[in-house]
Structure 1
Amino acid sequence: MICVSHLTALDLPPEDMVIAAARAGFSGVGLRIFPPAQSPDQYPVWNDRARIRSLRDIARDHGIRIFEAESFGMGAEVDRTAYARAVEAAAELGAGVITSAGIDDDAGRLAANYHWLAETAAGHGLVLAMEFMPYRGMKTLEAALKMHRRVDHPRAKLLIDAIHLSRSGAGLAEMAAIPDRSAIGHFHICDAPAIPPAQLEDKLQESRTGRLYPGEGGLPLSDLLALLPEGCPISLEAPHRDQQGWAPQDRIAAAGRVTLDWFRRHSVAVA
């Protein structure tokens, strides 16, 4: 299954994102249904039952799965009641995974909250994908692996993002050294120049608006895919650096053309 994550065109409302992803040829789509505090308008789906039903119907009618639900970022303060309701909403949408950036600097508190969220996700048949980012509390693959061991829950997995892996200083050797690759539960693919920006702020901006589609940069994507566990879900997360002035539907259409062709040329199933 090749999905496209909402960040690729976050200015598209969820309903339009589902339709655009289906028309672009993706078999799955990721939606932001639980908005972060800094942008509460993107998108408060989790507590809107009618909207949940409508999105589920739109996805069914367009032959696409709402596979990835976000953003369950795990910071210092967690409203467990709201998070639990958002997990339930993700399950109602048919999601397979909820994604959660490790924002909290307190590793003990983060582990406890992650264990609770994994248990909550498990109750709805979902996987919790914990994501490291070089500018968040959980910054590196090494830190994420330590957190995975500490959380110690079968439904808690790692989300590896190609650009975060590169910009946090890791690569193929570190991926190959992961002792149990079944710890990886989800992969965000994109491309970028092989040489990262020097400043952390520039890395942050690149990840939000400056990515490339597979094959357009210098990241070792084929080799990274070969290190994933069999059947690992893959989502394109690529707000493109050269398309910020494009209409969002056109960005998703381009993402589908370039990305799915890249997968076919590299003999990776796209459905």
Structure 2
Amino acid sequence: MTSIGIEAISVFGMPPVDFVALAAELGCQHISTGLTSFDFGVEDHAPYSLRDDARLRRDMIAAMRDTGVSISLGEGCTIRPGVDARDYRADLDLFGELGVQRINTVSMDPDRARTFDQFAVLAELSAERGMVTTTELAPSLTVADLPTALAAVAHVGRPDFRLLIDTMHLGRAGATAADLAALDPALIDYVQVSDAPLQPRFASYFEESMFQRMVPGEGELRLAELLAVLPPERIYALEVPLRAEARAGMGAKERLGRCVRATRDLLAAARSARDAAA
């Protein structure tokens, strides 16, 4: 069954309990979160720390219980030079307390061999806590393309270390629907959906990916083709930061409501395409 989530950067630092309520109001089943807030400089949200504030964790757990929304992805376990994956043990414990189903990791360490080894350490620590680990490719990261991501999965060699497919990063890295269709579906654990032009609009890839993507179906990524070959029984999470719209006064419910409706339409079209092919 396909379910829809909302990723944390789409709400520009909205406090966790409010984020849970928004997801429920939009009919979404999941959200992603890190343990501390990040100042996006877009909307006026108070800072928070799920790491340090036990009461906030309890309030969030209660909100999720009351709404049926869960945390599908824990974020922030980044591989960096000088940082050991074992340093994330306490954070992984907190993610476990919050009922997190999987964590995602990316690498900003240019040492590919060390990156892959650190992925393996983190995957083992996550598995000890009952969580899956995913990694995503992005042209700005050490794991910059699909072949490198597949090499990482092969190196780790665990069935609970899998791929997270971000449609913007995938398209910008040059991968196609045919490339995805050639993969074992079991390798793909999670999908982040957004749209974008094929050519960058910003001088900084980081700025574009963090602040201004496009509503699914309004860009050039051929999402209908991608979604038709991705496994349907996955979480499809909206990673669609829309800074310009937010600064123009469009609230999170309106911005993301557009994205939810567009994604549901695309998923329905993908389902029809799979049925026709069968």
Preserved contact between residue 12 and residue 248 of structure 1 (Cα < 8 Å): no
* Corresponding letter in the other structure for 2:68: G
* Corresponding letter in the other structure for 1:258: A
Which one of the candidate residues 255, 258, 266 is aligned to 1:254? 258
What TM-score, normalized to structure 1? 0.86
CA separation of 1:34/1:77 partners in 2, compared to 1, >3 Å: closer, same or farther? farther
Preserved contact between residue 166 and residue 196 of structure 1 (Cα < 8 Å): no
Aligned to 2:275: none
What TM-score, normalized to structure 2? 0.84
Preserved contact between residue 196 and residue 203 of structure 1 (Cα < 8 Å): no
Map Cα deviations across residues 4-55 of structure 1 (whole Å, 9 max, x no partner).
Answer: 111111231222111111111111111122568x99x965313433322211
CA separation of 1:35/1:148 partners in 2, compared to 1, >3 Å: closer, same or farther? farther
Preserved contact between residue 10 and residue 241 of structure 2 (Cα < 8 Å): yes
Deviation larger for 252-261 or 99-108: 252-261
- What SS does the aligned partner of 2:245 have? coil
Map Cα deviations across residues 122-154 of structure 1 (whole Å, 9 max, x no partner).
Answer: 112111111121111211111111111111122
Preserved contact between residue 21 and residue 253 of structure 1 (Cα < 8 Å): no
Which one of the candidate residues 214, 217, 222 is aligned to 1:215? 217
CA separation of 1:198/1:241 partners in 2, compared to 1, >3 Å: closer, same or farther? closer
Pairs aligned (count): 264
Preserved contact between residue 104 and residue 137 of structure 1 (Cα < 8 Å): yes
| C-alpha deviation, 1:188, in angstroms | 0.6
* Corresponding letter in the other structure for 1:190: S
The list of structure 1 runs, each at least 4 consecutive aligned residues, that deviate by more than 6 angstroms after superposition, is none
1:1-271 superposed matches below 5 A: 1-33=3-35, 44-80=49-85, 82-178=87-183, 180-193=184-197, 195-197=198-200, 201-240=203-242, 242-245=244-247, 246-264=250-268, 266-267=270-271
C-alpha separation between the residues in 2 aligned to 1:116 and 1:123? Answer: 11
C-alpha separation between the residues in 2 aligned to 1:136 and 1:97? Answer: 20
- What SS does the aligned partner of 2:115 have? helix
C-alpha separation between the residues in 2 aligned to 1:222 and 1:248? Answer: 25
| C-alpha deviation, 1:114, in angstroms | 0.8
Mind listing any 5+ residue stretches in structure 2 that lack a counterpart?
273-278
CA separation of 1:98/1:43 partners in 2, compared to 1, >3 Å: closer, same or farther? farther
> CA-atom RMSD, angstroms?
2.6
